[in-house]
Amino acid sequence: MRIEKEILHDILIKLKPVSLKDDLLVENFLGQLIFSKEGITVFNDQTYIFFPIETDLNCIISYTKLLNFITKTKGKFIKIIYSEGTAKISCGKAKLSLTSMILNEIDAKIIDEIKKIADGKITNKIPKGFNEGISSCSSSASNDPADGTLTCICIEEEHIISFDKTRASIYMMESPMTDKAILISATLISMLANFKPEKFKMSDSWFIFKNSKDTIFAMRRVRGEYPSEKITKLFSDFKSNKKINFPEEINRIIDLITSITNETTYVDRFVDINIKENELMLSSSSESAVIEENIKIDYTGSPFSFTINPTALQQALNVVGTSTLKRGKDNTMVLMQSENFKHIIALKG
């Protein structure tokens, strides 16, 4: 196989396994790259990605070692020759030999199962709003594994739903996608959204997507019950008694807070929002910094406050396209919404 280095590099980035995050490179099957005559595959039990490209190879080699070799060598082309259990790779004057790995029987069986499903026609069109909906709702899913299915987003008919202990989101697509509730791990959503799927197919165990490049992306379906009726009722029962318009500079302040507290992990970042008569205060802290800013707003009524991840708040504001906040009549929740998206945040007790 002979291919331009930049082309192969772009393919590897598209195939990056979910298990390999940032500099944490896991050297086991989760980082293995499967070459076949039809294309290149990465599989890690929860996800399967297949990129169609003709090769003359039939081997499994380390994803991380090949990517590092491509990234840190000079030369325009990559050449890979496989013979007698060894893949010999060259780029410019650099050469690398990698021993081919062996696919265990369980993983081989799962991959064959996915390939059989994907080899059939994938004709179901992704409803309009799907990519925006999964991205919008993913930030409301729980980050705590102990919460079970609340770490997922739920796709049911035309609705995309997610919630945790303090937030709930619901997005309505233009048309139904499924007649039964489908659960997908929220940790995979950014990867799926970046994949830009156009068509899909489902089996009992897998949710399979195809994009405009005929790349296949399969995600394992999560089993379990999801309280979707409870969440839809939460939104239908919401009654507002106050409307607060955030000033345009709300985004600047959120950006400022995020930059000051960036040493904190995404999960642990927060912004306290305190609203009282004609005044809004946003504040946050990290191990080494405390920040707050007050701004004037047009509000009369009893004071209230809530806490939210600043990135999640900014995502919600971007999705709804407005900085209007509605306070519930029972003073326990606030709501942001657009035509298709609604986001509820619980107030502090």
| pLDDT for 349 | 53
Q: Where are the domains of the chain?
A: 2-119, 127-206+220-233, 238-346
Question: Is residue 135 classed as helix, strand or coil in its secondary structure?
Answer: helix
- Determine whether domain 238-346 maps to CATH 3.10.150.10: yes
Closest CA to 218 of 290, 122, 296, 127: 122
Contact 314, 266 (CB under 8 A): no
Same fold, 2-119 and 238-346: yes
| pLDDT for 18 | 57
Class in CATH terms, 2-119: alpha beta
The DSSP code for 188 is: G
Distance separating alpha carbons of residues 161 and 154, to the nearest angstrom: 5
Residue with tokens 């997908």: 184
| pLDDT for 312 | 74
10-residue mean pLDDT profile of the chain (349 residues): values are 95 75 45 89 88 94 91 94 95 94 87 87 92 89 92 95 91 92 91 91 92 92 92 91 86 88 73 91 90 91 84 78 83 87 81
CATH code matching the domain that covers 127-206+220-233, chosen among 3.20.20.70, 3.40.50.1110, 3.40.50.1100, 3.10.150.10: 3.10.150.10
Distance separating alpha carbons of residues 85 and 101, to the nearest angstrom: 8
The residue type found at 265 is T
| pLDDT for 130 | 95
User: How far does CA 333 lie from the centroid of its chain?
Assistant: 26
| pLDDT for 262 | 77
| pLDDT for 28 | 45
| pLDDT for 210 | 94
Q: Which helix (H) or strand (E) holds 251?
A: helix 250-260
| pLDDT for 331 | 80
